[in-house]
Amino acid sequence: MLKEQLSKSNSFPQMAIEIFVKMKRNGINCDNYTYPIVLKACRMIYGLWEGRQIHGEVVKVGFLYSDVYVRNGLIGMYCKCRQMSCSRALFDWFHDKNLVSWNLIMSGYVECGDMVEAQKMFDEMPERDVVSWSIMIDGYGKKIGDVTCARLLFDKMHKRDLVSWNTMIDSYTKVGDMVAARELFDMMEHKSLVSWSIMISGYTHHHDPMEALNVFNLMLSLDIKPDKFCVGGAISSCAQLGALDQGRWIHMYIKKNKITLDIVVNTTLMDMYMKCGSTEEARAVFSGMSEKNVASWNVMISGLGVNGFTDEALTYFSQMEQEGTQVDDLIFVSVLSACSHGGFVTKGLEIFRRIRNPKVEHYGCLIDLLVRAGKLDQALSFIVSMPMEPNKDLWGSVLMGCRVQKNVGLGEFVLSKLKEVGGDDCGVYALMSNIYADNGMWEEVMKMRKILLEKGVAKESGKSVIEVIDGGVTEFVSGKKDLLFGNDDMEHVLWSLSKMVDLE
């Protein structure tokens, strides 16, 4: 029964510990098979107190000295709870260590980020298996971002399994080297769903949603059924691109193929629909969720706010509080942002005053709210009274307000503050130049342009993404004409649009 509680995909380690306690109360003796299972349960819940109680009992009954599996259970438990001095004492005390003992202690050092000790253990190992190598690759690559050392170990391996391949690929994605990750991915003879998920989420995380969807579509073309992690990454890519039709198609694919629609996938779907402007479909997903967490509420509130439904966003916020969901810092950011988009100054100030310890992000939303409402003096007073140093984003919001109100004096003051915090980038000087231009101060405009030239401004090409008729996604870059249509087709469309403008 104990083992059954831990072998399920939705395991209940706490239940396993409770069963063990009942066994002891009923006078049932435990053997060397029972203790490793209970210690595994302690490890899963980081139950240091419970693990120590079992350690004491193991010493009393004598299994600590006679059974390597019980000792390994204790070493693993202490490692998971980051009690490396305890696990190392157990490891050093006994001579009959097996490969699992070495891997456990080495994994503990890796989890704690102590690669020096982990490397010492690795070098001292009398024998190694593929798990030993994978632990070290994981430590160097994913824990401390040293992909060079990780790759050296990977290349030295005589035998590699899926875990070692996936660990090395994931290490590259963590540091943003998607080229190296893709090279290894393409070299794999046999890919698991984890391999595909790593690539899709890697491209999505590093803002290359087009390539993420290409990998997802390649997966489908090979008749590989994705899991919830793969579809989650693909949906996030659709959200980044604003690819509503493709997002809808993936949603239908999930339903048709009975892929698990858990709280994470549903929240990702909501986020995609909100970012694509389809609030009705987002509401439908939210209403159909049997379970909601703070992230689900946050997506709903922030999405409605961005799409102009401030009243409804505030209604959901009230409903969330009535249902007893714990309000966190991100929720307050979303609610304040909704107030900012809707111009709800009074409500925004009321909500801001409810925050016990407002962070710089909350001040940022409040300043944006006041600036959008044209209350620059009030915004400035809040910045001055902040308990922490205002960052460049806050001063940048005020400078944007100065542009709208053509306020030169305050604009110059804000520019000086941006210089102090190192936020005087090219965009700031371009904005200040526009403020001077709006007031006819052409000598000052020339000074700003001279600074821009000295900084070597290189304007990034404008980009736009559209969904085409077949549901695909195409990116247009300013200055390039040879992407989807011929030049003649493009010029004909532009000519037609210009004529429509003339008619208006």
Please spell the DSSP secondary structure of 460-471, one letter per residue.
Answer: PPPEEEEE-TTS
Mean pLDDT, residues 295-307 taken together? 96
Give the whole-angstrom CA distance, residue 245 versus residue 259. Answer: 19
Q: What is the mean pLDDT of residues 243-254?
A: 96
Q: Is the pTM of this model over 0.85?
A: no
List the CATH code of the domain at 292-390. Answer: 1.25.40
Mean pLDDT value across the chain: 88
Assign 46 a pLDDT band (cuts: 50, 70, 90): confident
Which parts of 107-264 are beta strand (E)?
none
Residue of 104, 100, 117, 113 lying closest to 78 (CA atoms)? 104
Q: Is the model's pLDDT at 56 over the cut of 50? A: yes
Q: What percentage of the chain reaches a pLDDT higher than 90?
A: 71
pLDDT tens by residue, 103-121:
999 999 999 999 999 999 9
Q: How many residues does the chain have?
A: 504
Rounded to an integer, the average pLDDT of 315-320 is 95
pLDDT at 282: 97
pLDDT reading at 9 higher than 50? no
The conformation of residue 206, written as its DSSP 8-state character, comes to T
Residue 164 or residue 94, greater confidence:
164
- For the residues 331-352, what does the mean pLDDT come to? 95
Average pLDDT over residues 61-81: 86
CB-based contacts of 467, cutoff 8 Å, min separation 6 = 242, 243, 244, 245, 246, 473, 474
Burial of 291 (0-12, 13-18, 19+ CB in 10 A): exposed
CA atoms of 228 and 238, how far apart (whole Å): 15
Residue 153 pLDDT: 95
CA distance 223 to 201: 20
CB 81 within 8 A of CB 48: yes
Residue 54 pLDDT level (bands cut at 50, 70, 90): confident
pLDDT at 33 over 90: no
Domain definitions of the chain by residue range: 207-290, 292-390, 391-459, 460-504
Specify the pLDDT at position 497. 67
The amino acid at 482: D
Pairing of strands 463-467, 473-477: antiparallel
pLDDT band at 462 (very low <50, low <70, confident <90, very high): low
Asked if pLDDT for residue 300 goes beyond 60, the answer is yes
pLDDT at 457: 57
Quickly state the pLDDT bin for 96 (edges 50, 70, 90): confident
Strand partners, 465: 475
Q: Helix/strand/coil (H, E, C) string of 170-230?
A: HHHHHCCCHHHHHHHHHHCCCCCHHHHHHHHHHHHHCCCHHHHHHHHHHHHHCCCCCCHHH
Which has more pLDDT, 479 or 54? Answer: 54
| Res. 303 pLDDT band, cuts 50 70 90 | very high
Token pair of 4, please?
């059954």
Contact indicator for 180, 172 with CB cutoff of 8 Å? yes
Residue 166 has pLDDT above 70, yes or no: yes
Q: Residue 99 is encoded by which pair of tokens?
A: 């490969």
The one-letter amino acid code at 218 reads: L
What pLDDT digit, counting tens, does each position of 394-437 carry?
999 999 999 999 999 999 999 999 998 888 888 899 999 999 99
Q: Nearest Cα to 319, choosing from 311, 103, 135? A: 311
Residues 434, 400 contacting (CB under 8 angstroms) = no
Residues 6+ away with beta carbon under 8 Å from 219: 196, 226, 230
Distance from C-alpha of 52 to C-alpha of 90, rounded to nearest angstrom: 13
Question: Sorting pLDDT into bands at 50, 70 and 90, what band is 256?
Answer: very high
Query: Other CB atoms closer than 10 Å to residue 269's CB: what's the count?
Result: 29
Secondary structure (DSSP) of 295-362: HHHHHHHHHHHHTT-HHHHHHHHHHHHHTTPPP-HHHHHHHHHHHHHHT-HHHHHHHHHH-SS--HHH
On the question of pLDDT at 468 being above 90, the answer is no
Per-residue pLDDT band at 20 (split at 50, 70, 90) = confident
Average pLDDT estimate for 220-233: 95
Q: Percentage of the chain surpassing pLDDT 70?
A: 88
Alpha-carbon gap, residue 413 to 384, rounded angstroms: 13
Type of residue found at 181:
A
